Amino acid sequence: MGIGTGVGVVLEGVSASVAALDALDREDHFLAAGTGVGADVDVLQRRYELRLERLEAVSRVEAQLAAVKALDAAEAVEIQQALLAPDAPVDERMFSEMSAVEEIAGVLTVSSGAAGALVEQSRRVCSLPPLLGALSAGDLSWQHARIVADETEGLTPDGAAALVAHFFDPDAPNPARGAAPGELVPARFRAKVRAWRERHHPETLEKRHAKGVADRRMEYTPDRDGMAWLSLYLPGDTACAIWNRTTATARGLQGPTETRTLTQLRPDIAAALLLGTGNTTATGEAAVGGAARATGDAAGTGAGSVSGTGSTGDVGKVPTPRADVLVTVPVFSLLGLTDEPAALDGPGPIPASMARRLVADGAESFYRVLVDPRDGAPLEIGRTRYRLPETIKQWIRMRDRKCTFPGCTNHTPDNHTDHLTAWEHGGRTDIRNLAQLCPKHHRLKHARTWNPDPATEHGPPGWTSPTGRHYNPEHQDPQPTHWPPGVVPLAAVPAWPDPEMEESEMDPEVEELEMEEPDGDNLLDPEDLCAADALWDDFYAKPFVLPPDPQADWPLLLTLM
């Protein structure tokens, strides 16, 4: 890193931010006193907006001060090491660093462990100039910077630099799309960073997952008020299935006479299943069996289900998960030609072997989404019948992944599929006019003027707040598909012209395609049909058949390589 004077530059930015904060405070003082306020100024509305602007300015100052803190923590240890002789023994250097960390802990009034973690995170942040620059400018918080420091652990210096370039350098190959890192809530930013890391880690996800499976465990931690925490460290698909199945069972138990909340029902159901005396049905059959029937599933099936055999012989065997989960699988991974990670809705990246097992072992309630290796676009959702409401709901869920409201991380299957422009105001039932919203933010959208942008086929909408602030959409961050060794991506095949592309932008080598009108005078334009026309019912009652894949000869191509 080198001992430098970068703190001075950051402090100049802090001074500018404090000056802006002071100007906002003076304006608020004038508004409160009524000094020089025009008749056309809504004083209360402006004072409300000033609070938001001050919060934003304070957040920027906090980030800049965090950069100062990180620089000083990292350089304090570095200077302490520089005080030693060049040939000082290793143990002396170790004690010198320990002493510096303890002094930092004393100055900040934190534990030694917290001070040591701060020093290590500060070193990583300061070793990545684009990340330190964004923090120094106040474009992201220390929490965001710490996420990058955590997720770059175990990567080579080149790997860490590539990760930072992906998220902070717009000129990097295949840069991150959508909202900037500082515009994402930390949990969502960590999910995007972790997804990128899993695909580019020098050690394959398969190997790391195998190590994690070997380390699976249950932990017990006593808590105050006679309570305790019980945690399970499990493979992602199993844990996700247990959570979703417990949730579905809890919802089945809810009714007019049930006083427990969903949050209270989940642990009660888990406890009933785990504490059955020699028989998992002993204490849980009556409650859980009724819930399973209420959710359309038979008791005694699926992960975490109630066994009706009265035997404990299969207690140690984990069943195939049958939760309502979306798993996105690259087509080459599904064929076993590559080990490119798949994505499980909620946990995130999973090993290709886990995705293949979920598909092959008959997990009927997993929606299998194949991904085209040419552009990362979805090829199909694993459904045998085309029904508009369910298919559109699953498509929007696949595109949005979660509630699209700014900062919301709710990805429950119960999210609403909402018309961005209301149906009664002319909104169409089209994927460009639909988005996921959790119940809370669905109500807020209709109660206050939170206005969504139009969505796209591949991206959710952005949002504009009542005060005019715009929040960019959080796009998915697809990465180029891993092609099997020896197979050349068909990138040289001329593409069909984009209908919105200007004529001057088209490739002159691509022949203009003449669209012929089909014969017959009994054809209807779908735009001329209203949504309630009976013809739509006949159309959607027909089975949905995918068109033939223009590159269906991939297996033949592979045999020739």
Residue 120: its pLDDT value, please? 93
pLDDT at 232 over 60: yes
Give the model's pLDDT for residue 436: 87
pLDDT tens, residue by residue, 436-484: 888 888 888 888 888 888 887 777 888 888 888 888 887 766 666 677 7
- Output the pLDDT for position 8: 82
Structure-model confidence comparison of residues 76 and 402, the more confident one:
76
User: Other CB atoms closer than 10 Å to residue 165's CB: what's the count?
Assistant: 17
Q: Which residue has the higher pLDDT, 127 or 503?
A: 127
Angstrom distance (rounded) from CA 103 to CA 486? 57
Q: Say if residues 284 and 223 touch (Cβ distance below 8 Å).
A: no
pLDDT of residue 332: 74
Give the β-pairing of 228-233 and 348-350: unpaired
Mean local confidence (pLDDT), 310-328? 49
Question: Predicted confidence band at 325 (pLDDT cuts at 50, 70, 90)?
Answer: low
What is residue 528's predicted lDDT score, i.e. its pLDDT? 64
Q: Does residue 277 register a pLDDT over 60?
A: no
Rg from Cα positions in the chain = 28
**What is the pLDDT averaged over residues 210-215?**
88
The separation between CA 518 and the C-alpha centre of its own chain, rounded to angstroms, equals: 44
Q: What angle do CA 191, 194, 198 make, to 5 degrees?
A: 140
Give the Cα separation of 166 and 173 in Å (integer): 7
| Predicted TM-score of the model (pTM) | 0.61
Instruction: Give the model confidence (pLDDT) of 367-412 as tens digits.
Output: 555 555 555 555 444 433 333 346 567 777 777 878 888 888 887 7
| Entry field: residues in the chain | 561
Instruction: Judge contact between 430 and 488, C-beta under 8 A.
Output: no
Instruction: State phi, psi for 497 to the nearest 5 degrees.
Output: -65, 145
- 465, 486 in Cβ contact below 8 A? no
Lowest mean pLDDT of 33-37, 45-49, 169-173, 365-369, name the range: 365-369
What are the angstrom distances between the C-alpha of 543 and each of 359, 480, 538? 22, 32, 11
Q: Which of 256-265, 298-307, 490-499 has the lowest mean pLDDT?
A: 298-307
Burial 252-287 (b: 16+ CB within 10 A, else e): bbeeeeeeeeeeebbeebbebbeebeebbbebbbeb
H-only helix segments in 127-279: 129-136, 142-151, 157-168, 186-200, 205-214, 236-253, 262-274
What is the rounded average pLDDT of the residues 140-154?
92
* Torsion angle, alpha carbons of 11, 12, 13, 14, to 10: 50
Tokens standing for residue 163: 């990760």
Spans of all domains in the chain: 6-204, 217-294, 388-471
Contacts of 208 (CB under 8 A, 6+ apart): 201
Confidence class for position 312, pLDDT limits 50, 70, 90: very low
Instruction: Report the pLDDT value the prediction gives residue 503, as an integer from 0 to 100.
Output: 52
Percentage of the chain with pLDDT > 70? 67
Query: Chain-wide mean pLDDT for the chain?
Result: 74
The confidence score (pLDDT) of residue 60 equals: 93
Tokens representing 167 are: 């998220």
Report the distance separating Cα 125 and Cα 131, nearest Å. Answer: 6
> Around 95, how many Cα atoms within 13 Å sit in the side-chain half-sphere?
5
234/463 Cα distance (integer angstroms):
37
Which strands sit side by side in the sheet containing 366-371, from one edge to the other?
A: 348-350, 342-344, 325-330, 366-371, 378-381
pLDDT of residue 131: 94
Q: Give the least confident one: 67-76, 252-261, 348-357, 481-490.
A: 481-490
pLDDT tier at 122, thresholds 50, 70, 90: very high
pLDDT > 60? residue 544: no
CA–CA separation, 141 and 19 (whole Å): 20
Residue 509 CA to its chain's centroid (Å): 40
pLDDT at residue 126 greater than cutoff 80: yes
Please tell me which of 226-240, 337-351, 537-551 the model is most confident about, judged by mean pLDDT: 226-240
Residue 338 pLDDT class (50, 70, 90 cuts): confident
pLDDT of 303 > 50? The answer is no
Of residues 6 and 114, more confidence is placed in 114
Highest mean pLDDT among 221-230, 251-260, 351-360: 251-260
121 vs 313, more confident: 121
| Burial of residue 311, with CB atoms counted within 10 A of its CB: 0-12 exposed, 13-18 middle, 19 or more buried | exposed
Q: Over 70: is that where the pLDDT of 518 sits?
A: no
DSSP SS3 for 375: coil
- How does residue 280 score in pLDDT terms, banded at 50, 70 and 90? very low
Angle, alpha carbons 327-408-141 (nearest 5°): 110
Question: pLDDT: is 522 or 73 the higher one?
Answer: 73
